[in-house]
């Protein structure tokens, strides 16, 4: 079959899409290709059919420098999407609520081009939207429902079935080891300017190990978690209701507090992640409460008491871990994160430290919100059961 491809921007012009698309079972031969989205890891393109009633797709070049084991990565996605579809088929529409991977001619769900790059394709979900920032209560509540439901649907899928696509991604022991090595080596000769930040972070190192230690002790169960719960990893419909959780690259074994804490890190902060004016970093408590309410409404059926208590630990851990990672990169000369100016990673570090300080000051209040919402849901469930019983 001869493929006719119309490339719509310069970034897309770098690839031979006729050969790449030909490796997937698209059912079409004429497409328009355009760069899509704002992701920082994989390169994503929308593939729009030129045929009447033809299907549209998203095509991604997988970043093999971040994801070393492409086969395990895609096996994870197949396990997870198949499981989600089977569960959602009982009550909803799995074709709209779960990403659909497109199989290649080789029988796999990914292919390799002549340059050695790896590609995958999914269906394109029309009439959806995403937001980089949460701006109102409904969005925050829907975010909580989305990630809570995602965990709930996967809670009966055994973690051993999935590989760690980025080993030690949220392992604070590993992050602190890297941090201490960066301090010792001082390769960028920046140590003298960040002694205050180093002291702050090291003073909390032991307490930030609690989730990991409870996991190792069997107090916290290992579950399948998303591990990248930014709000723009949720697709909403036109009424701002949740439709689909996306960006499944980091779905792997983890602890529920990681997903809760990472989502809160961005939702509760009223300033950007790299805010220079530290006074502008304030907590949006109503958004926290809305997210917690949505999240717990979906997870109350399986969360243990220990996991409930760990949620606040996650709220503190994730900004702490991000500060450690930013400062590690700053000490090593900005080799990992893209920066816009020489002190960018230090500015990010200080912003995350300030966020952590604000969260620490409000710890009791935030913990109370989680506990009260949990009790309200428990009481509501009990009352409902009593009414059914007669």
223 phi/psi in degrees, rounded to 5: -130, 175
CATH superfamily label, 137-383: Aminoglycoside phosphotransferase (APH), C-terminal lobe (3.90.1200.10)
Mean predicted confidence (pLDDT) in 99-127 = 95
Q: Which residues neighbour 215 within 8 Å (Cβ) at sequence distance 6 or greater?
A: 222, 255
Mean predicted confidence (pLDDT) in 249-269 = 95
Name the H helices within the chain: 17-21, 70-88, 94-97, 137-154, 172-185, 195-203, 210-216, 256-267, 285-299, 305-331, 344-361, 363-389
pLDDT of 384 > 50? The answer is: no
pLDDT at 2: 62
pLDDT of 1 > 90? The answer is: no
Give 198-256 pLDDT, tens digit per residue: 999 999 999 999 999 999 999 999 999 999 999 999 999 999 999 999 999 999 999 99
Mean predicted confidence (pLDDT) in 338-361 = 96
pLDDT at 336: 86
What's the whole-model pTM score? 0.91
Give 35-69 pLDDT, tens digit per residue: 887 666 788 999 999 888 889 999 999 998 889 99
Instruction: Tell me the domain boundaries of the chain.
Output: 4-121, 137-383
Mean predicted confidence (pLDDT) in 76-97 = 95
Q: What band does 114 get if pLDDT is binned at 50, 70 and 90?
A: very high
Mean pLDDT (the chain) is 92
Q: What percent of the chain lies above the pLDDT cut of 70?
A: 96
């Amino acid at each position: 079959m001869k493929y006719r491809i119309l490339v719509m921007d310069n970034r897309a012009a770098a690839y031979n899409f006729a050969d790449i698309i030909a490796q997937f079972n698209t059912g079409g031969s004429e497409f328009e290709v355009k760069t899509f989205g704002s992701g920082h890891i994989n390169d994503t393109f929308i593939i729009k059919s030129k045929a009447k009633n033809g299907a549209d797709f998203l095509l991604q070049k997988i970043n093999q420098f971040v994801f070393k084991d492409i086969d395990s990565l895609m096996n994870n996605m197949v396990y997870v999407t198949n499981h989600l579809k089977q569960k959602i088929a009982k009550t909803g529409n799995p074709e709209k609520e779960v990403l659909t991977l497109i199989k290649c001619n080789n029988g796999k769900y990914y292919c390799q081009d002549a340059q050695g790059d790896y590609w995958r394709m999914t269906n394109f979900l029309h009439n959806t939207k995403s937001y980089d920032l949460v701006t109102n209560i409904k969005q925050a509540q829907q975010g909580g429902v989305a990630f809570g439901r995602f965990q709930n649907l996967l809670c009966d899928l055994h973690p051993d079935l999935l590989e760690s696509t980025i080993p030690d991604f949220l392992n604070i022991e590993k992050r602190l080891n890297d941090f201490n090595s960066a301090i010792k080596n001082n390769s960028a000769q920046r140590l003298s300017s960040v002694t205050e930040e180093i002291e702050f972070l090291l003073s909390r190192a032991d307490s930030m190990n609690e989730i990991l230690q409870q996991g190792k002790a069997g107090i916290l169960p290992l579950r399948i978690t998303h591990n990248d719960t930014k709000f723009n990893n949720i697709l909403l419909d036109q009424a701002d209701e949740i439709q689909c959780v996306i960006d499944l690259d980091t779905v792997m074994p983890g602890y529920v507090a990681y997903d809760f804490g990472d989502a809160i890190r961005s939702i509760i902060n009223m300033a950007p992640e790299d805010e220079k004016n530290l006074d502008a970093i304030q907590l949006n408590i109503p958004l926290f409460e809305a997210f917690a309410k949505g999240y717990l409404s979906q997870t109350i059926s399986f969360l243990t008491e220990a996991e409930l208590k760990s949620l606040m630990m996650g709220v503190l851990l994730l900004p702490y871990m991000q500060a450690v990672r930013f400062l590690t990169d700053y000490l090593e000369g900005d080799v990992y994160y893209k920066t816009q100016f020489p002190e960018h990673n230090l500015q990010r570090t200080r912003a995350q430290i300030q966020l952590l300080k604000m969260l620490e000051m409000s710890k009791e209040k935030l913990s109370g919100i989680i506990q009260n919402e949990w009790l309200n849901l428990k009481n509501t469930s009990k009352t409902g059961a009593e009414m059914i019983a007669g």
